[in-house]
Amino acid sequence: MSQPTAPETLGSLTDETPVDPNSKASQEIAGKSPLRIAAGRLLKDKIAMACAFVILFFILIAIFAGVISDFFGVNTDTQSPSQFLDVLNGGMPKPEYGPPNGGFTMDHPFGIAPRSADDNLAYWLYGARTSLMIATGATLFATIVGIVVGLLAGFLGGVVDRVLSFFVDTFLTVPFILAALTIAPILNERFNDSDNYPTIQKFSLVAVLALFGWMGMARLIRGEVLSLREREFVQAARVLGMPTSRILFKELMPNLAAPIIISVSLMLPAFVAAEAGLAFLGIGVTDGASWGRTISFATTYFEQYPLYLWEPLIGVVLLVLSLNLLGDAIRDALDPKTRR
C-alpha cells in the first residue's frame, strides 16, 4: 500500500485535479519525465507558442537569408548612391525607388537607405543572421564555461571553489561596455591588415560577449550543485566508487537541466540586445549588416524617413521580446511550484 502523497510533492500544489492512481488517465501520466510534463504545459501556453513561431520565423530568415534575398532580387552589394538618390531632396531615395517619397516597389520591398542607397531588405535579412549567429555563439560559449565552472566549484568545494568563485567575482566587477570599448581597438591594431578581418571581428564579438556573460550561469549551477551533492543518490554513487566526472555528468547534470534551460533561454535575448547595442555604439560588426548599426544610421533620418528606422527596430524588439517571453514561459513550465 502506498503512502499518501506528502504535501510538498508535485501533485498537491499544482492545480491539476487529483486522479485515482488506478484509473486510465493516471497510467498515461505515469511514464512521463519532468521535462515531458513541462513540454506538455508549454504546448498549452498560447503566448509561448506564438513567441516560438516568431523565433522560428527569425531563425528561418537567418538561415535562408541568401535564398530569400535572391528570391526578391536584392543583395547587400555596395550600390552607387548617385544613381538612386536625389541631390535636391536631402539625399533621399528618388520616388521611383520607394519610400519615403514614392510608393513601395517590388525591386526594393523595404525601400533603400538614404546616403548609401543600400537595399534595406537585404540588410534586414542579413542583420537577422548576424544577430542570431552572434547571440547563439555567445550563449553557447557562455553556457559551456558557466556549467563547467559551476559544476567544478560546487562539487569539489574547498580551494577550487574559492579560486573559481574569485574569478567569477572578478569578472563581475569589470564593466562590460568599458571592456568591449577597450578591446575593439586592440583587436583592430593586431588584425587590421588581415584578409579575414570581418570574420575575426565577429568571433571577437562572440568572445567578448561570452567572456562577460558566463558568471551568472556559473553561480547558479554552483548553488544548485551545493544543495545536490549532499543528497543520497550522489552519496550512493560515491560509495559505489564512481569517478568524479561520471558523478558530475551522469548524476548531477540531468538534475540541472531545468536551471540550465531557463538560463539559456534568458541569455539569448540579452545577447541579441547587447549585440545591437554595441553595434549602435560603433563597436562590434563594422563591416557588414547589423541591425544595431542600421539603427544608428537611421536615427538622424527619423523625421524624413521613419520606415528606415522602424524596420531594424521592429526586428530587434520582436526578436528580443519573443525570446524573453518564451524564456519566462519555459521557466514557468519547468517550475512545479508555479500556479497559473
Partner 1 sequence: MKRNKPLALVAGVALLSLAACGGGGDDSSSSGSGSDRSFGEQTGGTKDAKRQGPAAEVDGATAGGTVTVYLPGDPGPNSLDPTDGWSVTGNSIQQALTHRSLTQYVRDSETGDPVLVPDLATDLGTANEDYTEWTFTIRDDATWEDGKPVTAEEVAFGMQRSLDADTFPSGPGTEYSKQYFLDGDSYGGPYTDKGKKYDGITVNGQDVTIKMATPFPDMDYWGAFMAMGPAPLGNASKPPNYGQDPLSNGPYMIEDFQPNQELTLVKNEQWDPNSDPGRHQYVDKWVFKFNQDQAKVDQIMLSDNTDSQTAISTALGSDKYTEANDALGDRLVQQTSQCVSTLTPDYTKITDINVRKALAYAYPYEDVWFATGEVPGVTRIPANSVMPPGMAGKKDFQVDGEQITYNPEKAKELLAEAGEEGYEITMVYYEVDPLAVAGQKQITKGFEEAGFKVKAIPVQVSPYDIWLDPDNKTNKQLNLRGVNWCSDWPAGSTMLPPLLKTDAVYNTAQFSEDAIDQKMKDIATLPLDEQGDAWGALDEEIMTDYFPIIPTAFRNDLFVFGSKIGNPTGDGALGAPNYKDVFVMQ
Residue that has been written with the C-alpha cell 517550475 in this structure: 335
SS3 (DSSP) at 112: strand
User: Which residue, 81 or 95, is less far from partner 1 as judged by CB?
Assistant: 81
SS3 (DSSP) at 86: strand
Task: For residue 197, state whether it binds partner 1 (rule: CB under 8 A).
Answer: yes
* C-alpha atoms less than 13 angstroms from C-alpha of 227 in its C-beta half-sphere: 7
**In the bound complex, what is the minimum distance in angstroms from residue 270's beta carbon to partner 1?**
25
- How many angstroms separate the CA atoms of 301 and 101, rounded? 13
Q: Prior bond to 100 cis, omega within 30?
A: yes
For partner 1, which stretch binds (CB under 8 A), given 33-41, 138-146, 238-246, 280-288? 280-288
User: Which residue, 110 or 297, is less far from partner 1 as judged by CB?
Assistant: 297
- How many angstroms separate the CA atoms of 123 and 285, rounded? 13
151 contacts 221 by C-beta, under 8 angstroms: yes
Cell matching residue 297: 544610421
**In the bound complex, what is the minimum distance in angstroms from residue 282's beta carbon to partner 1?**
6
Task: For residue 170, state whether it binds partner 1 (rule: CB under 8 A).
Answer: no
Task: For residue 282, state whether it binds partner 1 (rule: CB under 8 A).
Answer: yes
Task: For residue 192, state whether it binds partner 1 (rule: CB under 8 A).
Answer: yes
Using only C-alpha atoms, what is the Rg of the chain? 25
Task: For residue 190, state whether it binds partner 1 (rule: CB under 8 A).
Answer: no
Task: For residue 89, state whether it binds partner 1 (rule: CB under 8 A).
Answer: yes
Q: Which of 293, 311, 329, 332 binds partner 1 (CB under 8 A)?
A: 293
- How many angstroms separate the CA atoms of 11 and 262, rounded? 22
Sign of CA dihedral 109, 111, 112, 118: negative
Residue 86 forms beta bridges with which residues?
92
**In the bound complex, what is the minimum distance in angstroms from residue 91's beta carbon to partner 1?**
6
**In the bound complex, what is the minimum distance in angstroms from residue 33's beta carbon to partner 1?**
51
**In the bound complex, what is the minimum distance in angstroms from residue 178's beta carbon to partner 1?**
16
Cell matching residue 62: 537567418
Task: For residue 284, state whether it binds partner 1 (rule: CB under 8 A).
Answer: no
Cell matching residue 202: 565577429
**In the bound complex, what is the minimum distance in angstroms from residue 198's beta carbon to partner 1?**
10
**In the bound complex, what is the minimum distance in angstroms from residue 97's beta carbon to partner 1?**
14
Q: Residues binding partner 1: what is the number (CB under 8 A)? A: 32
Amino acid at 230: E
Binding track, positions 119-158, relative to partner 1; x by CB under 8 A: ----------------------------------------
- How many angstroms separate the CA atoms of 109 and 286, rounded? 25
For partner 1, which stretch binds (CB under 8 A), given 15-23, 205-213, 265-273, 299-307? 299-307
Q: Which of 93, 297, 316, 324 binds partner 1 (CB under 8 A)?
A: 297
Binding track, positions 45-84, relative to partner 1; x by CB under 8 A: --------------------------------xx-xxx--
Cell matching residue 276: 545591437
133 contacts 318 by C-beta, under 8 angstroms: no
Return the closest-CA partner of residue 333 out of 2, 60, 14: 14
- Residues of the shown chain interacting with partner 1 in the complex, contacts defined by CB under 8 A: 77-78, 80-82, 85, 87-91, 114-117, 184-185, 188-189, 192-193, 197, 282, 286-287, 293, 296-297, 299-301, 304
